[in-house]
Structure 1
Amino acid sequence: MQTKSPVEVLQHRLDSLPETGTNGFVRLSTPCQVENLLGWLNIQSMYPRLYWQSRDAGAVEYAALGVVNAFDSLAALEADLAALAAVGGEQPDFFGGMAFDPSTPGWEHFPACHFLLPRIELTCHQGGATLSLNLCFDDRCPKDEIAQAHACLDALVAEQPLPRLKPHVYQREDRPSQQEWAAWVWQVTNPDHLAHTPKVVLSRETCLTTPKTSNPWALLSRWQSGAADCFHFGVQFSPHEAFIGCPPERLYKREGRHLITEALAGTTRRGRDAQQDQVLATELLADKKNTLENQCVYQQILTQLEPLSSQVQMGEAHIMKLRSLQHIRRLIHAELHSDVSDQQLLSVLPPTPAVGGVPRESALAFTRQHERHQRGWYSGVFGRISHASSDLAVTIRCAHIDSETIRLYAGAGIVAGSQPDEEWRELDTKIADIMSLLGMG
């Protein structure tokens, strides 16, 4: 007797659902076998496509297709989460992100805020892989919902190996230029400016142009293999544009009422060997400029969390080591008040002082006035939200890719003592990993 495929199992279970009487969220799941989630995602014809994996050891790997519900506001998302929780039963995960500065023009096909419940989820975890079909029975016609779910299952195809990364010749343009950058840094570090704005985070867009860019999922796969201690994400809302990244910084992780966040700021390079690496780490922790940069971040986070929490605790400064960089990090734990929602957290915490500056409004006023490139979802938010738990990253170390252009982004916190040439070199170090994958390292 021939065993049914995972898709056939889900189709059979879908046919068994009653067309009336079902209410709320329904997830149909079955075990499956998959070698590479990105290879599976890349070959599908459905959009949007999303990929997410937290940086925690053993974290679930998610690949998602299509859409059941989508929300372009935190209030609408929170209302849907509350409505589904009131019905009870299994609760869904929503995936998506937010722009760095919703008040400014962003990327054309990336709303200021967008979270969605995907139609299809493929998850990989320590126990194996699971293929899931999501349905929502609310005010929509149940017959139509089942028909749309069938169509999505029918469109699924078997995974294929990712294409190899091919070398391309790129034309590079930095925005701002190094000369403009130096002028900005001198303005920010002027004592008169520091008196009211002790930290501004300036960013640079490195635009790489070529007749045909690399496959975004193949690029992400190679990138993540050298970024084990980072988050990994990717999203395609349409065939010709993608946003991918391997950010090291957590916005926050919430389990029930317990929240973990971090102050990640202050940077140096990795050493040639273990001894030099340790010397550089020790110098970083002792450096006044980098310590000040980190202090600006954690003080603002503590100020933001205190009204929302019954208890807030901050850990000691320590070094977070990445492939090319070392950062100063302090972990912050908070017990949230019972009525605090993800909507409130996402209305208060981003943009973090690590990417937005201190105080926020005067720092943002400087970047709005001077930066000509659009940050869009760079230094914004991406991740997973559910009723029980949420996990979100700050979208740094990322690439915005279309058919002819790869845009890489990097930023640096400018405080008293910042030197233009040193900060410019830091920007190059922050994009070094992906530049090497593109053959430009």
Structure 2
Amino acid sequence: MSKVSMSKVKSILDEYELGDFFLSSSKRTIMGKGVFSVVKETRKTKNQIYSLPVRVEEAFEQAKRAGHPHPIVVGAVPFDYSEAAKMIIPEEVKVSSTLVKDSGQPENISLQPCEIQYIPAPAEYMRGVNQGLDKISSGQLDKIVVSRALNFKTKEQIDVKQILKRLEHHNKQGYTFAVDISDVNTIRNKETVLTNGKRILIGASPELLVSKNDSTLFANPLAGSRPRSDDPKEDQRRALELLESEKDLYEHAVVVDMVKESLAPFCESMDVPEIPSLIKTEAMWHLSTEIYGTLKQAETSSLELGIALHPTPAVCGHPTELAREAIYEIEPFNRGFFAGMVGWCDENGNGEWIVTIRCAEVEENDIRLFAGAGVVAGSIPEEELIETGAKFKTMLDAMGIEKQ
């Protein structure tokens, strides 16, 4: 990776151009420019995700033979194992520390939506939550994440760079990202449409799936949420309520247990706190657990670890396969890259992968937002609807659109 001089560049984001890869975290900011090579896609199969690490290794070897000194792969992996990932080796990668991450006060944005569509409509979404609750009460599932989408058309073309700046400014402890998914088939209402223009996956996720540095891994599952309040006393009450909620603590424990179980085969030791802590974004409180592990084999890649975890119960449910099938049955749209993972991996396996939530797909003046809520025994459909509305707020605020 090339390093960016602190004296010359205030923020890598200032250099962003539509189509660049961008990922900003509390540790570093990475931007990939140009396309040196594309990770080869494979024939569509039910579980093509499992061949992705091998295809990435092949891409690394080919890039080095072609003269790339230090290849790094960047991109996005979809929710559905049978759909194609969008992975490239950029021509140039720029990296900066958090000391030069902040690009200052962003410009105000006020997009004017001229068409708005919920998929599904709120009443239908709550019926979907009840379908999930029926599967839980019958013993088929312990948890399911039921999601919805929000489509906008705006009068003007959407300025992705300015939205990214606003997301980063208000998301300093999280992960702000943009990935070009232009040549991937866009899924709308379970119909496949091939897009022509630039289509960008953009978002500000609070959740790290996994990172790997040499022989150390770190995972930070989130599950259990409350919307923030503008009133400080009410906001604190909601935070304390979340910490004491049996429903949310159970939902969180399901996710942590799965993460621990999935990572254990790779680790010679793990440190998993018994009690979750709280983290906050501008829109939400979340229960959080920080998990550290020492790998048995230092060459295990961050991508392999991410695939072993994907999708966690935080975005899918439990048991995973049954929850995924129920999602396909209940949700009237394909998730695409929502609830997938975004990130990077270098030739030594080091890297970080982010859970693709609080996100949207943008193309010219068309944007689709996504939000989901974890449903367990005791969940109330109206509350899950409110939670998804609060999660839309991250992207709506970035676009200067009043909450719908």
Contact 2:112–2:154, Cα closer than 8 Å, also in 1: yes
Look up the match of 2:161.
Answer: 217
Q: Report the CA distance shift for 1:229/1:372 in structure 2 as closer, same or farther (over 3 A).
A: same
1:69 aligns with 2:20: no
Code of the aligned partner of 1:312: M
Q: Tell me, what secondary structure is at the counterpart of 2:164?
A: helix
Deviation at 1:74, TM superposition (A): 2.5
Q: Tell me, what secondary structure is at the counterpart of 2:179?
A: strand
Code of the aligned partner of 1:52: L
**What does 1:367-378 correspond to in 2, within 5 Å?**
367-378=327-338
Q: Decide which of 335, 342, 345 is 1:382's aligned counterpart.
A: 342
Look up the match of 1:403.
Answer: 364
Deviation at 1:236, TM superposition (A): 2.6
Separation in 2, partners of 1:361, 1:404:
36
Deviation at 1:273, TM superposition (A): 4.1
Q: Output the aligned Cα RMSD.
A: 2.9
Deviation at 1:404, TM superposition (A): 3.0
Deviation at 1:76, TM superposition (A): 1.2
Look up the match of 2:79.
Answer: 100
Deviations 1:31-61 (A, max 9, x none): 472344334223x7xxx4111112x2xx322
Look up the match of 2:9.
Answer: 34
TM-score, length-scaled by structure 1: 0.77
Contact 1:64–1:122, Cα closer than 8 Å, also in 2: yes
Look up the match of 2:22.
Answer: 51
Code of the aligned partner of 1:373: F
Deviations 1:139-193 (A, max 9, x none): xxxxxxxxxxxxxxxxxxxxxx998634313321111112211222112212665
Q: Tell me, what secondary structure is at the counterpart of 1:345?
A: helix
Q: Decide which of 376, 383, 386 is 1:415's aligned counterpart.
A: 376
Contact 1:187–1:193, Cα closer than 8 Å, also in 2: no
Deviation at 1:411, TM superposition (A): 0.4
Separation in 1, partners of 2:318, 2:179:
30
Deviation at 1:277, TM superposition (A): 2.7
1:229 aligns with 2:173: yes
Contact 2:358–2:391, Cα closer than 8 Å, also in 1: yes
How many residues were matched structurally? 370
Separation in 2, partners of 1:49, 1:218:
14
**What does 1:208-357 correspond to in 2, within 5 Å?**
208-238=152-182, 240-315=198-273, 316-338=275-297, 340-357=300-317
Separation in 1, partners of 2:173, 2:4:
30
Q: Report the CA distance shift for 1:347/1:64 in structure 2 as closer, same or farther (over 3 A).
A: closer
Structure 1 vs Structure 2: percent identity of aligned residues? Answer: 25
Separation in 2, partners of 1:298, 1:162:
36
Separation in 2, partners of 1:69, 1:229:
32
Code of the aligned partner of 2:31: A
Separation in 1, partners of 2:272, 2:337:
28
Look up the match of 1:439.
Answer: 401
Deviates more, 1:276-285 or 1:336-345: 336-345
Q: Tell me, what secondary structure is at the counterpart of 1:417?
A: coil
Q: Report the CA distance shift for 1:331/1:36 in structure 2 as closer, same or farther (over 3 A).
A: closer
Q: Tell me, what secondary structure is at the counterpart of 1:246?
A: strand
Deviation at 1:403, TM superposition (A): 2.0
Contact 2:75–2:86, Cα closer than 8 Å, also in 1: yes
Q: Report the CA distance shift for 1:346/1:167 in structure 2 as closer, same or farther (over 3 A).
A: closer
Look up the match of 1:134.
Answer: none
Separation in 2, partners of 1:68, 1:366:
39
Unaligned 5+ runs, structure 2: 42-51, 183-196
Contact 2:24–2:168, Cα closer than 8 Å, also in 1: no
TM-score, length-scaled by structure 2: 0.83
Contact 1:168–1:213, Cα closer than 8 Å, also in 2: no
Q: Tell me, what secondary structure is at the counterpart of 1:354?
A: coil
Unaligned 5+ runs, structure 1: 1-26, 105-111, 130-160
Q: Report the CA distance shift for 1:92/1:268 in structure 2 as closer, same or farther (over 3 A).
A: same
Separation in 2, partners of 1:83, 1:100:
28
Q: Report the CA distance shift for 1:345/1:433 in structure 2 as closer, same or farther (over 3 A).
A: closer
Contact 1:170–1:209, Cα closer than 8 Å, also in 2: yes
